[in-house]
Chain A
């Protein structure tokens, strides 16, 4: 059974600082997704990582995937308050229904 572990689960940081969120998963997959969720809202797709070594950047966020280590990272550069949200990684099970298995999420709070 595919398991997805995120850490940290809670992250409080100051504006202007850098930090990394980690996502480990237990079985082979080369399709990983990062989503953002604001309180009471839906899941907004941030990044789609489809191969080993994939790196994608959007603004202050950068995501990478290492399929051999079964690890993805979401790096935050010079955080701003608007980045406060919960970030989920999700792994595609591949084969069959292609369902997504989500991590527990990282609740990020950026303090002024």
Chain B
């Protein structure tokens, strides 16, 4: 069964550094999402992406965050200057169309020191 893949599985970074989290959505899916989960808390929406542009973003997704689909397969989340509170599990998800079930990757655990 096709799956969403995320790399790296764990990223440790110094505060203030830039990080890029990578995702390969399911190949024929058109909608892409990033969510995050702070340890022990619920999953929170960050951003959705469709037709090569952001379709919605949450309050968390400030100007330190950006997303990109640089080619036909990858979908990346960049945090320009990381803060301690960015430490979380970041999940990428994709769906065939809007309203179809979203398939989640295994996540990237981001630890900011």
**A residues whose Cβ falls under 8 Å from a Cβ of B:** 31, 33, 35, 40-43, 45, 48, 88, 90, 92, 94, 96-105
Contact = CB atoms under 8 A, between A and B. Distances in A.
A51 B102 CA distance: 17
A98 B31 contact: yes
Main secondary structure on chain B at its contact with chain A? strand
Interface of B: 31, 33, 35, 41-45, 48, 50, 55-56, 91, 95, 98-99, 101-107, 109
B101 A102 contact: no
Nearest to B48: A97
A1 B80 CA distance: 29
Contacts of B45: 99-101
A102 B50 contact: no
Contact of B43 (A45, A88, A96, A98): A88
A48 B91 contact: no
Given A43-B43, A105-B42, A98 B99 contact: yes
